[in-house]
Amino acid sequence: MKNFLSKIILFLRRNILGVLLTLSVLIQGVLTAFPFSLILLVVSSYFWEERIFPYALGWGLFLDFLLGGHLGIQAMVFLGVSFLTLAVKRKILGKEKEKLKLPYD
Amino acid sequence: MIKNFHKKFLVLFGIAFFIFLLDFGPFFTGLKYLFQSLSNPIRGRVYQINQSFLSQTFRSKAAKGYFLENQKLRAELSRCQGKAISSQQIFDENKRLRHLLAMPLPPDLSFSDAKVIGSQGDYLIINRGARDGVEEKQLVLVGNYLVGRVERVSEKQAKILRVDSIKFSTPVLIFRDDPSCFSQNQLCQQGKGVTHGTKVEQILREESVVEGNLIALLDGPGGILVGQVVKVSESSDKVFLEAKFEPLVNFSKLTEVFLVR
């Protein structure tokens, strides 16, 4: 039991953003129209980079099912938002990386 | 690396778009219903908790006060609306009884009762027909208010043309809404005309028909009221006056009517 609990805690620590994102999708689908999941998706996209895309598709479809609307819309929105986040990150931070680092910087 | 990133995105976006297009067809309907049937109880439960628990516990004291006051006012509003409806019912009944008392129908009239079993445009359908002795052109009343005229009779049913129908036309007498006028409405006469739908037409210009006047049937047994004038205006040819009237019967609440024999 203790082992099982520690495994769960470890899983939560490693995937805290994913767990939070799943919860936010559930909250957005059931409780409120405020786009919590999009905000968390932007944060997750920043850290997970292109590994976020399959998850964005999955969470988007899940939210579509929860909202009972037309299937695929939220999935496309989620994918678009994560793509934009990555594009902006690479555009800004990519150039930062390219800069020559001088010893007195 | 960048190409890979674009490719991955495009593939997944394509899948999402494909699903979006497929959803215009019936492919996901079953799955959606299944998901909805699973999630709706949770949604309902969460909504209940949100309403009863969050709204009362986690709000500020002032917000909670407003919430409780809102609930109280809503309850009071419902109570007042209920009272207003029952007052209106009492008012209508009082008006009907007053008219009936002051303007009784001729004692030699005999009636047969019938139930209203349906409505079809300008017609009401009753559960009495030829086998019950119903005949065409019979007048149909509620109290002393005219409901209409029997238009078509079958074996077990009959169709009544409503008094407010454009197909219904009868000569009428217009008189003041005064208790003393009820029993001798010829003396308080304000005008004469012919009904056509909810209008009385061919009223002479010199006749002083005003809003609130009552309209009684001129042709047929005395004491039968048709409606009440709500607006008086000139006819389109400027020769006569015409009066718009409201029937005194609420057709949507009719359950029983009486046929004049």
pLDDT at B4: 73
Q: Is residue A102 part of a domain?
A: no
Alpha carbon distances (Å) from B51 to A97, B42, B43, B55, B59: 51, 14, 12, 6, 12
A28 domain residue, yes or no? yes
Minimum-distance CB partner of A54 among B12, B23, B31:
B12
Give the per-residue pLDDT at B176: 83
Cβ contacts below 8 Å, chain A against chain B, sum to 64
B35 in contact with A at a CB cutoff of 8 Å? yes
Report pLDDT digits (tens) over B135-165. 998 999 888 888 999 999 999 899 999 998 9
Cα-based distances in Å from B90 to A41, A53, B33, B100, B154: 63, 68, 49, 15, 37
Please report whether residue A74 resides in a domain: yes
> Which chain A residues have a beta carbon less than 8 Å from that of B21?
72
Assign B125 a pLDDT band (cuts: 50, 70, 90): very high
B174 within 8 A of B243, measured Cβ to Cβ: yes
The pLDDT, as a whole number, for residue B148 is 92
For chain B, the first-to-last Cα distance in angstroms comes to 96
At residue B50's C-alpha, the angle toward residues B46 and B52, to 5°, is 115
| Spans in chain A with pLDDT lower than 70 | 1-2, 12-13, 94-105
In 3-state terms, chain B is what percent helix, strand and coil (to 5)? 40, 30, 30
Q: What is the pLDDT of residues B188-232, one digit of tens each?
A: 788 889 998 889 998 988 888 888 888 988 877 777 888 999 999
pLDDT in tens, B36-82: 888 788 777 777 776 666 555 655 677 777 878 888 999 999 999 99
Indicate if the pLDDT at residue B183 is higher than 70. no
Query: Is the residue at A76 inside a domain?
Result: yes
CA dihedral B84, B87, B88, B93 (to 10 degrees): 170
Q: Would A40 be classed as within a structural domain? A: yes
Look at A71 and B8 and tell me if their CB atoms are within 8 Å: no
**3-class secondary structure, B106:** coil
Q: Is residue A103 part of a domain?
A: no
Q: Is residue A59 part of a domain?
A: yes
Question: What's the total number of domains in chain A?
Answer: 1
Structure tokens at B140: 């149909």
Scanning A40-69 for CB atoms below 8 A from B yields 49-50, 53-54, 56-57, 60-61, 65-66, 68
Min Cα separation A33/chain B (Å):
13
Contact predicate B251/B124, CB 8 Å: yes
Asked whether the whole model's pTM tops 0.80, one would answer no
**ipTM summary value:** 0.78
Tell me, yes or no, whether A79 lies in a domain: yes
Q: How confident is the model at residue B177 (pLDDT cuts 50, 70, 90)?
A: confident
Q: Which domain holds residue A70?
A: 17-96
**pLDDT tens track for B18-33:** 999 988 888 888 888 8
As a whole number, mean pLDDT of residues B93-101 equals 75
